[in-house]
């Protein structure tokens, strides 16, 4: 891609930062993800600049040029300049010392050659720099690897992963996000370094896994990089090669899970929610631990949804996944085998149970649960595939029920606690909750309409 073409895509904020630094006698380049994405013809989001200027000079020059400047990482030579609301992270050229903790450099040394700075970066596709006049600086063949669809470490792969074990997951995330392959030497070093993920903060692992799931291609990661996935989530490891010994299943637990992860993307129409992706990954995580054989030699997994929900909560909790996502995914895992049919009563029970497990999410989760069930059926033996179509009738009834104004909790009832006190003649206290639960059960069962007068009449008769 020609310099002028790339320059025309460069955000004005980056142009201002580079121009101000170079007018002051320093060198500056745009680096990182913006360069990579621009070469692929994709819109950039965050834009970063690297410069020969010490951070103190960067701050002085950019402030004098009218930008707001914040000291966001001065130990590593970084300040963040803001131009009309657009932040530009600006960092002094640097190289890094040993990584004793496999995550952070023991020391940072500032240098004057941008090529030294690029040499410390993880992958060739991230080790390019661009200047609106000087053009592309690509000392490690990143543009060629972009064109070939290859993830390749800069320099010696073992050294790159030894510096920062999280790069093991980053390599997989870039591969699934971009649809790239990982070149052989990088792949070999990646596998050797995967166990070192034990030393990485779980929150950082969660961020990378979130990115892998967000790509919609976690099935590829499970099939092609399972050693890495299992190093990140050890609870996944027992799924590989685990024979389910069931006529309902044609695959081991791992391949079944990969197929479910792929199928939810299809059933969700390309807009798969975060909760559903996590649930698909973890829905059968407890199967190996709950496996039993009957006298005929058939495998069973009694209680695996409940056990899986506990494991899912532990995994997502330690990775600091947002609580709302955790609650939604755990509910889906717990209820993925919940029996449901196209009757109004069955759909209402499903909605109430989802709301009970994930307050405030019941209505949205109902559609996700049906997609998970469809995907689960498609990941089984061929004779089970019919169920995915059967669930269309449940979806139609669910839409009708929601249009009617479904009652999911006692708060949705047409009467409140004061009505119950007057109608039943009871004092405020636990008795009110008991009556509310009875009313809710009657409405869900279709024995009562959620109508104020009907509910009052029912309580009057009961009294």
pLDDT value of position 107: 66
Six token digits for residue 461? 């008769």
Distance CA 227, CA 180 (A): 18
pLDDT digits (tens, 9 = 90+) for 1-25: 678 888 889 999 999 999 999 999 9
- Closest to 14 (Cα-Cα) out of 107, 98, 87, 122: 87
Over range 178-203, report the average pLDDT.
Answer: 97
pLDDT value of position 196: 96
pLDDT digits (tens, 9 = 90+) for 341-390: 999 999 999 999 999 999 999 999 999 999 999 999 999 999 999 999 99
Output the pTM of the full model: 0.89
pLDDT at residue 113 greater than cutoff 60: yes
pLDDT value of position 5: 87
pLDDT at residue 280 greater than cutoff 80: yes
254 within 8 A of 226, measured Cβ to Cβ = yes
What proportion of the chain, given as a percentage, has pLDDT over 90? 79
137 within 8 A of 114, measured Cβ to Cβ = yes
pLDDT at residue 393 greater than cutoff 60: yes
Distance CA 368, CA 371 (A): 5
Domains along the sequence of the chain with CATH = 3-148 (3.30.460.10), 233-404 (1.10.3210), 410-462 (1.10.246)
pLDDT value of position 106: 63
pLDDT value of position 2: 77
Over range 324-352, report the average pLDDT.
Answer: 96
Over range 214-242, report the average pLDDT.
Answer: 98
Distance of CA 137 to the CA centre of its chain: 33
pLDDT value of position 98: 56
């Amino acid at each position: 891609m020609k310099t002028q073409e790339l320059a025309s895509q460069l955000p004005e904020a980056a142009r201002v930062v580079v121009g101000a630094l170079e007018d002051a006698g320093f060198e500056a380049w745009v680096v990182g993800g913006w360069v990579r994405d621009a070469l692929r013809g994709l819109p950039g989001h965050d834009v970063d600049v690297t410069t020969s200027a010490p951070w103190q000079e960067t701050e002085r020059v950019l402030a004098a040029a009218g930008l707001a400047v914040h000291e966001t990482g001065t130990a590593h030579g970084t300040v963040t300049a803001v131009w009309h609301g657009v932040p530009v992270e600006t960092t002094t050229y640097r190289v890094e010392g040993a990584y004793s903790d496999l995550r952070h450099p023991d020391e940072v040394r500032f240098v004057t050659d941008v090529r030294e700075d690029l040499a410390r970066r993880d992958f060739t596709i991230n080790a390019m720099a661009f200047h609106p006049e000087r053009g592309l600086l690509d000392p490690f063949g990143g543009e060629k690897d972009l064109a070939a669809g290859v993830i390749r470490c800069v320099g010696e792969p073992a050294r790159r992963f030894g510096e920062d074990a999280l790069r093991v997951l980053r390599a997989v995330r870039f591969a699934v996000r971009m649809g790239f392959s990982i070149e052989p030497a990088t792949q070999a070093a990646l596998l050797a370094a995967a166990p070192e993920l034990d030393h990485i903060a779980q929150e950082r692992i969660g961020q990378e896994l979130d990115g892998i799931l967000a790509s919609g291609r976690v099935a590829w990661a499970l099939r092609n990089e399972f050693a890495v996935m299992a190093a990140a989530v050890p609870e996944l490891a027992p799924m590989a090669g685990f024979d389910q010994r069931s006529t309902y299943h044609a695959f081991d637990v791992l391949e079944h899970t990969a197929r479910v992860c792929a199928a939810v993307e299809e059933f969700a129409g390309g807009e798969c929610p975060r909760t559903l992706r996590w649930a698909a990954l973890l829905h059968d995580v407890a199967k190996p631990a709950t496996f039993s054989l009957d006298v005929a030699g058939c495998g069973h997994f009694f209680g695996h949804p409940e056990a899986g929900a506990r494991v899912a909560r532990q995994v997502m909790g330690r990775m600091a996944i947002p609580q709302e996502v955790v609650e939604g995914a755990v509910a889906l895992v717990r209820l993925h085998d919940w029996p449901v049919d196209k009757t109004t009563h069955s759909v209402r029970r499903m909605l109430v149970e989802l709301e009970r497990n994930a307050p405030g999410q019941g209505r949205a989760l109902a559609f996700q649960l049906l997609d998970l069930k469809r995907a689960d059926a498609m990941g089984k033996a061929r004779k089970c595939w019919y169920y995915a179509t059967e669930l269309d009738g449940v979806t139609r009834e669910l839409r009708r029920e929601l249009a009617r104004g479904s009652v999911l909790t006692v708060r949705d009832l047409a009467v409140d606690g004061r009505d119950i006190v007057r109608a039943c003649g009871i004092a405020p206290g636990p008795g009110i909750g008991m009556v509310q639960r009875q009313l809710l059960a009657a409405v869900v069962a279709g024995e009562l309409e959620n109508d104020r007068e009907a509910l009052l009449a029912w309580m009057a008769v009961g009294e």
